[in-house]
Chains A and B, each alone.
Chain A
Amino acid sequence: MPLQEKLTSGEFVILAEMEPPKGTDVSSMVASATGVKRMVDAFVVPEMNNAVMRLSSLGGALLLQTKGLETVMQVCCRDRNRLALQGDLLAAQALGIPNVMAVAGDEITHGDHHQAKAVNDLNLLELLAAIQTLKTGRDLAGVDLKGAPQFLVGATVKVTGDAGALKQELADLDKKIAAGARFFTTQPVFDVEVLEKFRRQVGKRPAAIIPTVMLLKSVGMARYINTHMEMKIPEAFVTRIQKSSDRVRECVQIAAEFVAAVKKQGFPGVLVSTIGWEDKLPSILAAAGL
């Protein structure tokens, strides 16, 4: 069932992140995605996550679409101006990519090409508005299009436990909804209570909030995230991995528990980020009872 239809039906949606390779050898990406094809409703193909140069989201999404897999292409404000963004969006529709997600993009200084010039010609809300404009059959210059895209449009939302930040995030969420976004993925979340509180605050807004569950791959990875990134992993998870006799299995179990919690809380779906360990996706979903 197409993603748009499934979200409308109320069935629990499973998205999987599928990062394109840094290079032209796409065999691993394609094999990883096709291996879990039956379990996943759509593959989210990031546009150079963390500003690390990789094969583009448009290219990656098209590759998977040609294998019969539904994808969500990301369009990113950081690297393209309004001409390139619109051109890629038209290309995506013409090539059969049905879903797009607008993202602002991580700072260039965080990536591996830190000397590059950032574009940011349109901001996130302007990009969402641009997509809506294209859907009406015109471009940003007001010129008629020969054939208009009909994407399901998404964006990102940040889950936060901080009252002030939450208020701002919800205000931003309303603006994104008004600009046409209908589904939202979150940053990887590791705190079920914060997530539940966030869900209650979002309430009945007309938007499908899809939390991201990230598969931790080691204690070192958890420590790195806790040291360098804004999101924090509760120490209890780190200890569980540390004390386990089968650490990989424990990592899978933790992710599965989180996926199950997301479903139980009543979210319409989950985005599973396995960062190279796509072969663990079946175990995660099975352990989560999906």
Chain B
Amino acid sequence: MIKAVPKPLEEVLDLVKDFTKVLIVGCDGCVTVCEAGGSKEAKVLASALRLYFTQAGKQAQIDETSLTRQCEKEYLAQLSDKMDAYDAVVSLACGCGVQYMAEMYNNKIIYPGVDTCFLGVNEERGLYAERCQACGRCILAETGGVCPIARCSKRMLNGPCGGSDQGKCEISKDVPCGWELIYERLKTLGQLDRFEKPVDPKDWTTSRDGGPRTIVREDLRI
């Protein structure tokens, strides 16, 4: 899932301090799971903003709501009756949700309330780790289910760089060497021969390097 962290309160305050009617919109999707931008976080942020305006002696209306997902028009449309009542909106969705809301409500000021970080997993509550960089051409079948693009600091595709020490990456002793993980997993699976096969330089056109990406699934289109 997409992982995000709440923006520092000071940053959000700086964005909205000159408005008097602000709506905070949480998203019940990915950012709820990582506890960065769901309905609970929307309530917490709205309370903090109300407290700030009260302490600053300013009259302000701060409301909060949450949508099932902000990356779909049908859910964003649920805001259409409310939008006119606010000067600015803080979306707690990932960058996709913020942008889609801005596209749909072109004349409204929409600010992001979270920093979108990566596609990752919940290792523990409050501990999220990157697993995928959405490069558009999955090679996990060849690498024992461990992605060298997401998990090797140098994104090396043909084995380790030689800088690791006792299975840890040279950038930090807290970061496992991606290629150590790949090697160990291939060994467990009895597929170490895959480790021996050199791969060609990667085609990055399916990643962000080919420009903004679109998926067209003709079989799904109505």
Contacts and interface: CB of A to CB of B under 8 A. Distances in A.
Interface stretch (B15-23, B47-55, B74-82, B196-204): B196-204
19 contacts: A107-B211, A108-B209, A109-B205, A109-B210, A109-B211, A114-B205, A114-B210, A115-B201, A115-B202, A115-B203, A115-B204, A115-B205, A116-B204, A116-B209, A117-B202, A117-B204, A117-B207, A117-B209, A118-B209
Nearest to B202: A115
Interface in A7-51: none
Interface residues on B, range: under 10
Contacts of A115: 201-205
A107 B204 CA distance: 13
A109 B207 CA distance: 12
A114 B202 CA distance: 11
Interface string A243-258: 0000000000000000
A108 B203 CA distance: 12
A53 to B, nearest CB: 13
Interface in A112-130: 114-118
Nearest to A118: B209
Contacts of A109: 205, 210-211
Nearest to A116: B204
Contacts of B209: 108, 116-118
Contacts of A117: 202, 204, 207, 209
Nearest to A113: B201
Given A109-B211, A115-B201, 11 more contacts: A107-B211, A108-B209, A109-B205, A114-B210, A115-B203, A115-B204, A115-B205, A116-B204, A117-B202, A117-B204, A117-B207
- 5 closest pairs, A vs B, by CB? A115-B203, A117-B204, A117-B209, A118-B209, A115-B205
A114 B206 CA distance: 11
Interface string B189-222: 0000000000001111101011100000000000
B157 to A, nearest CB: 12
B97 to A, nearest CB: 26
A19 B28 CA distance: 55
A114 B211 CA distance: 11
Contacts of B211: 107, 109
A117 B157 CA distance: 14
Contacts of A118: 209
A117 B205 CA distance: 8
Contacts of B203: 115
Nearest to A114: B205
Interface string A90-113: 000000000000000001110000
B208 to A, nearest CB: 9
Contacts of B210: 109, 114
Nearest to A108: B209
Contacts of A108: 209
A107 B210 CA distance: 9
Nearest to A107: B211
A240 to B, nearest CB: 38
A84 to B, nearest CB: 15
A113 B190 CA distance: 36
Which of A107, A109, A114, A117 has most chain B Cβ within 10 Å? Answer: A117
Contacts of A116: 204, 209
B153 to A, nearest CB: 15
